[in-house]
Structure 1
């Protein structure tokens, strides 16, 4: 199993996983947004990054993350925005490997903190996350603009 930055050649294999991820969260995005997301993740000037996990020659999971400045810190924070593992590959340490790789990428940039959110109903993911990080008391609010 290898965790690697995505390349243009990975798009065809990443796309079904991305769609499965969106389906899992009952979300629908225009193809234009999906294409833009992938393109941005490959651009060196963007803060959006995409890692893929390859095993036996195929992509079995991915994570996107964003490095950003914080008003609460001297340096960077690292936000794990998306994490998905193919259903038939779960329980093999793929998500743990992705989180570790995102943490290392954040450290390399000088980030002080890695953080993420998950759906309240996603108890399986939470069981892993509670082993890797500290659950906070913050609640996310959202407003469309």
Structure 2
């Protein structure tokens, strides 16, 4: 058992991502993905530890 409160902030965030992956897998999901700003290097460094960047950049087109 991991004591989440004892983890460094970065490690805690990584653990939470992995925990969400477990829940998603239990609910039948085949993948988990999220977005972050390209310039958020701290977040991207964390995400690189637990997932793979596939080269996609998200664009939004407002419809209203």
Whether TM exceeds 0.5 here: the answer is yes
Tell me the SS of whatever aligns to 2:46: helix
- Going by fraction, where is strand more abundant, 1 or 2? 1
- Going by fraction, where is helix more abundant, 1 or 2? 2
Tell me the SS of whatever aligns to 2:37: coil
Question: Paired residue for 2:51, among 120, 130, 133?
Answer: 133
Q: How big is the alpha-carbon RMSD for the aligned residues of Structure 1 and Structure 2?
A: 1.9
The equivalent residue for 1:105 is 23
Tell me the SS of whatever aligns to 2:20: helix
CA distance in structure 2 between the partners assigned to 1:130 and 1:121 by the alignment: 14
Q: Choose 1 or 2 for highest CA Rg.
A: 1
Normalization by structure 1: what TM-score?
Answer: 0.37
Structure 1: runs of 5+ lacking an equivalent: 3-54, 57-88
Query: In the alignment, is the contact (CA less than 8 A) between 2:18 and 2:50 conserved in 1?
Result: no
Aligned length: 60
Return the structure number with greater relative CO, CA threshold 8 A, min gap 6: 2
